[in-house]
Amino acid sequence: MLLVQKLKDMMNERKHQAWNFWSAFVFFGAVVLVGYLFDNRNIDIRDITLKESVVIILASYRMTRILVFEKIFKYLRNVLKKRENLYVIGTLHSIITCPWCAGVWVTMAIVMFYFLVPFGVVLVYVLALAGVASMVILLSNLLHMYTEQRQRVHQQEKGSGNDSLA
């Protein structure tokens, strides 16, 4: 009985890996579609400015963090996790729980919003500004943790110094 379950698990894992493999082809198909849409609107991605690149990077960073880590998408992540034995769902779960995987898809969506969706630039700029704010908060938290650690070390040194004087 245990052997049968192990074989089923192995087969499910192989099918899941196959869906992950095929999702790469879906992604490249989406890239071709975006390229086609760009071509129809005479948009050349190679003409992107440094400012636009930075805005897209920051927006992609923030949207990826929202999708992979924030509470707002936790329900979706949990629903997909419960059904990850369904192969396409398992692949979607793998994508939205991996910041590197999600980042690639999110960046493509951000580029599409920026160049192809009317007023999509507004969303991209809001996400970019939120990305900067997120980084400021992260740096502030890191500085706070560093300061607390230094204070603990200082207190320990001060406490051990008093013990040696007594």
pLDDT of residue 166 exceeding 80, the answer is no
Torsion sign (Cα): 18, 21, 22, 23: positive
SS3 17: helix
pLDDT tens digit string along 109-136?
Answer: 999 999 999 999 999 999 999 999 999 9
Measured distance CA(53)–CA(47) in Å, rounded: 10
The answer to whether residue 163 scores a pLDDT higher than 60 is: no
Q: pLDDT confidence of 80, banded at 50, 70, 90?
A: confident
What is residue 131's predicted lDDT score, i.e. its pLDDT?
Answer: 97
pTM over 0.85: no
Give the pLDDT of residue 51: 97
Q: Is 61 in a helix, a strand, or coil?
A: helix
Burial of 148 (0-12, 13-18, 19+ CB in 10 A): exposed
**165 pLDDT above the threshold of 70:** no
Rounded to a whole number of angstroms, the distance between the first and last alpha carbons of the chain is 69
pLDDT of residue 14: 73
Residue 54's pLDDT is: 97
Mean pLDDT of the region 54-78: 95
On the question of pLDDT at 3 being above 80, the answer is: no
Could you tell me which residue, 87 or 130, shows the higher pLDDT? Answer: 130
**Between helices 87-96 and 2-40, what is the axis angle to 10°?**
70
